[in-house]
Structure 1
């Protein structure tokens, strides 16, 4: 649509830009009224609505005379900057393939979670992890509870995923319950049923009940504590992300790359486990992790 006569100003061609007028929020009738009311077609109220003060008007006027584009030139530069500068989302999802790593779940639980005892980086744990194409579980050890989904959209990746001050025993017991309790309960149930049938059909004189009654309890405890190690003897282990083991702790450039690419770990994870502690939201970095979790979008 052509601009009506009398709307074009002496120093500014921007009034011919329908897109700019739409951004300002002025229709054609109001443009004509403002053109008649103001000598240059742009009164103070209009400038205020655009958000430009007097000093900036002069600068934009000189720039428009040199470039012939006026505000359109500025808009083009802003658009170019937005296209060339990486956003936080882009940075958080950028990670070299060799740094996309995970560790077997039994390795993360080994030594009664001795790896989680402190946050010091004197002991290098990076060698416990290996490059992977996908991660079974992303461990965010700050919140009790489980969230499951197929894929994640990462938002802010500048954060950690572990509250190192919370007792490792609390985390250990929680992970035992989440990952091992189902297998432990099923195994002990089957063993108890087998012993019950044996007592009925074989006879108590062959299998004294008082000697076998504790077998179910013992099997449950063994499975609860060591099921992941036993499971790995028959099938591929669960591969999990644990920041201290999957992000290099002593090589600072590699560590920064891992932190910047935290969103990539989340994106390639099939499941996310989040553990809550009272200290969780008292730490800024863990609060950032929470924002990443809450920005997850189901696909």
Structure 2
């Protein structure tokens, strides 16, 4: 892919008026290397090493090595992720660059993340998605610091506490400062950590090294701009991972599809993270709704309210059902938000499967014939199309590669549930803060150690197992709702599904709580509790297990032990027939996993 991606110049540098000549020159040089160095992959071009894990493990001749590496090491530049997000992502506002924006990057030895995005996407949405990606860790750490401070204050009896009435009729105290303060700190720091870090010495340099085209490719020096454009494939090869800021237009733009396909080819097992614009809203609203659920629970558990409910036979265990009913609207709203996220994932798969070079938007239509010719040569060079195949057949092979590899990469990025486990825990992180407040008050009151330990276990199980399993159930139900078309049916199904998830979650929560309290005095119940905890976490591990992304298509179908198609000298005698079949029926193209899989 390396020389083909050199023609991406238009969007990479973001210049719309004065970069046509530079783009054409870069495209000409890239395609010249393609035609002279890749077509057919002669025996002298490539030699295989002991293991196959991508093009970085292949010995290349001079022309190809130059196409995927920098002749001038100073061209490899990166910027801190904190600088990219500084000022609410001001650098993401538009594609116009200058010498000042170029100075925001520095020469580096490697890139941690290659940021792939469309400049047509609104800046605010891109900023929120990237902030969740890069600031999630610091936000968790900073909020945990505040939560631990509140925990210490509760343990020292200097923080306020609420008097609640438990399901067993006993009164107990819980703190609320840590939950309120730490949740607020988390929501603020996840979007403003890059600005807060400016006040902490040394933190500005702690961000990841990222590639952003407008800052890492010179926009005013035409010579450096041209060389930076020609080295786009080298930027991708030097990147350890890729972050795709996905929008509705991502798979409709030829250049961004080039970036994604090149990463899949150059890093068959590389870390690919898909960040839909909807993800940040899902996490924020999910955490707000989770906080509201705890607030309702505490309100219901306050002694005066419990006494009033007891008079109406709603106290004790029945109060859990009342909590489920009161929080039903919040859970319904979360179901609606999650359904939108699943619908967005379905659109991503549909866009990937319907991708066509002929219909993809190109920055300059004058470049389209040259780009299509280069893609055809690439597909022939890696053996996914016959060397003498018409250009249409080779382009169909490229379309098929996008159809198959992009959905697999998406599934590996978001998982079977549709959301990563760490994001689910983020939604319910305020439950962890509440647990710390509760334990701090228990320590201050001198509660028995076994009771404190059991309450900690119950809180951890609810936060890291019960609620994530409820999200699994919610995801399954919302996937069923995607088959509905009438708005009334969707609304009714969403309400019913949210009620079911809410009742199931409340029942699991109550069961864990009651079983945990019973285990304080009874060893047999303690053993049963341990079995339930182990089973819950085993189910969580199974549901949220990482999805392995297969390497890009490298071997011909039916050759289970065949060498990758990059090495034609090892082709089987049946190869001509296979290639002929490909030319007659491009739809019969199949992919198999790389030998490492």
Shift of residue 128 of structure 1?
Answer: 0.7
Paired residues in the alignment total: 198
Q: Which of 198, 208, 218 is matched with 2:184 structurally?
A: 218
Secondary structure of 1:175 counterpart: helix
- Asked if the contact 1:93/1:262 (under 8 Å) is kept, the reply is no
Question: Equivalences for 1:247-266 in 2 at 5 Å?
Answer: 247-266=217-236
Kept in 2, the 8 Å contact 1:177–1:224? The answer is: yes
| Kept after mapping to 2: 8 A contact 1:100/1:133 | yes
Length-normalised TM-score, structure 2: 0.30
Question: Deviation at 1:140?
Answer: 1.5
Q: Which residue of 2 aligns with 1:151?
A: none
1:290 aligns with 2:260: yes
What CA deviation, in whole Å up to 9, does each residue of 1:158-192 have, x standing for no partner? xxxxx100011111111111111233124323422
Residue of structure 1 aligned with 2:112, choices 108, 126, 136: 136
Question: Could you tell me how far 1:195 is from its partner in structure 2?
Answer: 1.4
Q: Could you tell me which residue of structure 1 aligns to residue 63 of structure 2? A: 86
Offset of residue 276 of structure 1: 1.5
The structural deviation recorded for 1:213 is 5.9
Q: Distance in 1 between matches of 2:146 and 2:214?
A: 38
Task: Classify the secondary structure of the residue corresponding to 2:210.
Answer: strand
Q: Counterpart of 1:110?
A: 86
Q: Does the Cα contact within 8 Å between 1:95 and 1:258 map onto a contact in 2?
A: no
1:239 shift after superposition: 1.7
What SS is found at the alignment partner of 1:240? strand
Find the residue that maps to 1:169 and give its secondary structure.
helix
Cα displacement (A) at 1:244: 0.5
Q: Distance in 1 between matches of 2:241 and 2:201?
A: 19
Measure, in 2, the Cα distance between the counterparts of 1:232 and 1:269.
27
What is the deviation of 1:201?
Answer: 2.8
CA contact (8 A) 1:95 1:261 kept: no
TM-score by structure 1 length? 0.56
8 Å contact 1:187–1:220 — kept in the other structure? yes
The answer to whether the 8 A contact 1:92-1:260 is kept is no
In structure 1, C-alpha distance between the alignment counterparts of 2:106 and 2:100, rounded to whole Å: 14
CA distance in 2, matches of 1:103, 1:84: 31
Match of 2:202 in 1: 233
Counterpart among 214, 217, 229 of residue 244 in structure 1: 214
Structure with the bigger percentage of helix: 2
Residue in 2 that maps onto 1:273: 243
Find the aligned partners of 1:86 and 1:198 in 2 and give their Cα distance. 66
Corresponding residue SS for 1:179: helix
CA deviations on 1:192-224 (whole Å, 9 max, x unpaired) are: 243144224324469xx7877642233213421
- Following TM superposition, by how much is the alpha carbon of 1:135 offset from its aligned partner in structure 2, in angstroms? 1.6
2:283 matched residue in structure 1: none
Tell me if the contact between 1:94 and 1:260 (Cα under 8 Å) persists in the aligned partners. Answer: no
Q: The residue matched to 2:147 in structure 1 has which SS?
A: helix
Between the aligned partners of 1:202 and 1:256, the Cα distance in structure 2 is 65
The 1:243–1:210 alpha-carbon spacing in structure 2 relative to 1, beyond 3 Å, is: same
Which deviates more, 216-225 or 273-282? 216-225
Residue 130 of structure 2 contacts residue 245 of structure 2 at CA under 8 Å; is this kept in 1? Answer: no
Determine the C-alpha separation between the residues in 2 that align with 1:187 and 1:246.
30
Query: Which is further off, 236-245 or 185-194?
Result: 185-194
Whether contact under 8 Å (2:103, 2:215) holds in the other structure is yes
CA contact 1:185–1:220 (8 Å) conserved in 2 = yes
Change beyond 3 A, Cα 1:232–1:266: farther
User: Judging changes above 3 Å, is the alpha-carbon distance between structure 1 residues 249 and 202 closer, same or farther for their aligned structure 2 residues?
Assistant: same
Work out which structure has the larger RCO, using CA pairs closer than 8 Å and 6 or more positions apart in sequence. 1
Structure 2 distance, partners of 1:177, 1:139, is 14
- In structure 2, distance between residues paired with 1:287 and 1:278: 13
Q: Is contact 1:166-1:277 (8 Å) kept?
A: yes
CA distance in 1, matches of 2:80, 2:62: 37
Q: 1:11-38 deviations in whole A, cap 9, x for unaligned?
A: xxxxxxxxxxxxxxxxxxxxxxxxxxxx
In the alignment, which residue of structure 2 is the partner of 1:201? Answer: 156
Q: Which runs of 5+ in 2 are unaligned?
A: 1-40, 46-59, 162-174, 270-597
Q: 1:298: Cα distance to partner? A: 4.5
**Does structure 1 conserve the Cα–Cα contact (< 8 Å) formed by 2:132 and 2:191?**
no
Cα distance in 2 for residues equivalent to 1:169 and 1:195: 33
Residue 142 of structure 2 is matched in structure 1 by 187
Aligned to 1:166: 121
